[in-house]
Amino acid sequence: MPSARRGKEQAIRTYKLCLLGFGNVNRALVSLLQQKDEWLRDRGIGWNICGVASRRLGWVANPEGCDPAKLQDLNPENSGGSGELADDLQDWLRRSRPDVVFEATSLDPDTGQPAIDYIRAALHAGAHAITANKGPVVHAYRELQALAEVQKRFFRFEATVMDGVPIFSLFRESLAAVELKSLRGILNSTTNVVLSGMEEGLSFEDALAQAQKIGVAETDASHDIDGWDAAVKVAALVNVLMGIRLRIEEVQREGIRGLTGEKVRAALNRGCRYKLVCRAGRDGNSVTASVRPEILPISDPLAGVSGTSSIVSFETDIFPGLTITEFNPGVQATAYGMLSDLIGIADREKSSSALATEQEQ
């Protein structure tokens, strides 16, 4: 092995990773870890997947590390080869001893559970917790953040809003001294795809059926169509970026069910577009937030965002207008949000240990 490479190998810290929820997002994360493995090792980050769990898989633990190439075949009928089955969450954490737990279970918008309990247990067990699930951020951000600080661990959630787009880290790091006054955006892709379909001549029902056919919308799309998903995202952004407690019920919410193809096309003929717009505005220590269909002039940057793309525009005390647009994201972008959280944590740990060494000398 060349000496430069050997030097890098010596500096590698291998993180024991556990995946809680093994659907689209965490499976994409495994592929991404494999794809970026060399880059990560060059940055001093090694990894081993020591546990995988889901409702149907149960709690699979393997402290020696699972073979990532075989993980994609893991299914409820074939979990034995990857490790031993633990009895429950606590037993799983005890056996797999993770440094980081990636939580990507299904969203329960009403309670954020059981993901909140999972993250709490991971932090108590001494692991960092990274989630793609908006529920814990909306329902328990302050508690989990405080617990992470007590445990000297990190709670991170970059993938929860606009997939892997660096919004939370942008405000935490580069915009740390900036005050967010308001935000406006399009944060739900299903409704945006349905609105685009109606502009192209379809009825509401046909546009929704088409969105379901191409896999953008779920069979029961009411969560998106009635504005719940967008409201959850607004609440997550407000709770974290404005530091103001906002519950989902406090977001004024109207979905796109009341719109017809005729209405949408009539607006287009007048040079305007219907969009499901998310808004939040700070007023002192309180905030007003809404999700509702609005008619926007074509010249509005939000009007130019169609299909599965999304956009958010921030008004701050320093930057009057700062806009981020995400074009056609895939699940890989969400997985990237989680990977970027891992890289951020590893970098922080590296800096703290370098500082500690310096102080000892």
Is 54 a binding residue for ligand NAP by CB under 6 A? The answer is yes
Contact positions with ligand NAP (CB under 6 A) in 319-338:
331, 334
CA distance 264 to 262: 6
- Residue 29 or 305: which CB sits closer to ligand NAP? 29
CA distance 61 to 73: 16
């967008």: which residue's tokens? 230
Whole-number minimum distance, CB 59 to ligand NAP, in Å? Answer: 9
Whole-number minimum distance, CB 260 to ligand NAP, in Å? Answer: 29
Span near ligand NAP by CB under 6 A; candidates 23-31, 40-48, 244-252, 257-265: 23-31
Contact positions with ligand NAP (CB under 6 A) in 179-218:
none
Beta bridge partners of 16: 48
Q: Which of 17, 18, 25, 144 binds ligand NAP (CB under 6 A)?
A: 25
- Residue 13 or 55: which CB sits closer to ligand NAP? 55
84 Cβ partners below 8 Å, 6+ apart?
60, 61, 62, 95
Span near ligand NAP by CB under 6 A; candidates 3-11, 50-58, 168-176, 278-286: 50-58
Q: What is the DSSP letter of 78?
A: B
- Residue 159 or 175: which CB sits closer to ligand NAP? 159
List the 252-253 sheet strands across, edge first.
252-253, 286-297, 272-283, 180-186, 310-316, 322-326
The amino acid at 18: C
Span near ligand NAP by CB under 6 A; candidates 7-15, 17-25, 277-285, 348-356: 17-25
Is 22 a binding residue for ligand NAP by CB under 6 A? The answer is yes
Is 255 a binding residue for ligand NAP by CB under 6 A? The answer is no
288 Cβ partners below 8 Å, 6+ apart?
252, 279, 280, 281
CA distance 48 to 52: 11
Whole-number minimum distance, CB 25 to ligand NAP, in Å? Answer: 4
Is 105 a binding residue for ligand NAP by CB under 6 A? The answer is yes
The per-type count for the chain, helices as H runs and strands as E runs, is 14, 13
- Which of 82, 75, 81, 26 shows the shortest CA–CA distance to 50? 82
By beta carbon distance, the residue nearest ligand NAP is 23
List the 84-86 sheet strands across, edge first.
84-86, 58-61, 45-54, 13-20, 100-103, 128-131, 155-156
Is 133 a binding residue for ligand NAP by CB under 6 A? The answer is yes
- Number of residues counted as binding ligand NAP (CB under 6 A): 21
Q: What is the DSSP letter of 240?
A: I
- Residue 21 or 51: which CB sits closer to ligand NAP? 21
Whole-number minimum distance, CB 360 to ligand NAP, in Å? Answer: 41
Strands (E), 109-178: 128-131, 155-156
Q: Calculate the dihedral angle through the C-alpha atoms of 45, 93, 108, 275, rounding to the nearest 10 degrees.
A: 0
- Residue 100 or 303: which CB sits closer to ligand NAP? 100
Length of the chain: 361
Is 104 a binding residue for ligand NAP by CB under 6 A? The answer is yes
Contact positions with ligand NAP (CB under 6 A) in 55-74:
55-57
Span near ligand NAP by CB under 6 A; candidates 101-109, 272-280, 301-309, 314-322: 101-109
Q: Which of 159, 207, 236, 240 binds ligand NAP (CB under 6 A)?
A: 159
CA distance 120 to 236: 18
Is 127 a binding residue for ligand NAP by CB under 6 A? The answer is no
Whole-number minimum distance, CB 356 to ligand NAP, in Å? Answer: 35
The SS3 of residue 74 is coil
Q: Which of 51, 114, 136, 227 binds ligand NAP (CB under 6 A)?
A: 114
Q: What are the structure tokens assigned to 336, written together?
A: 């990237």
- Enumerate binding residues for ligand NAP (CB under 6 A): 21-25, 54-57, 104-107, 114, 132-133, 159-160, 163, 331, 334
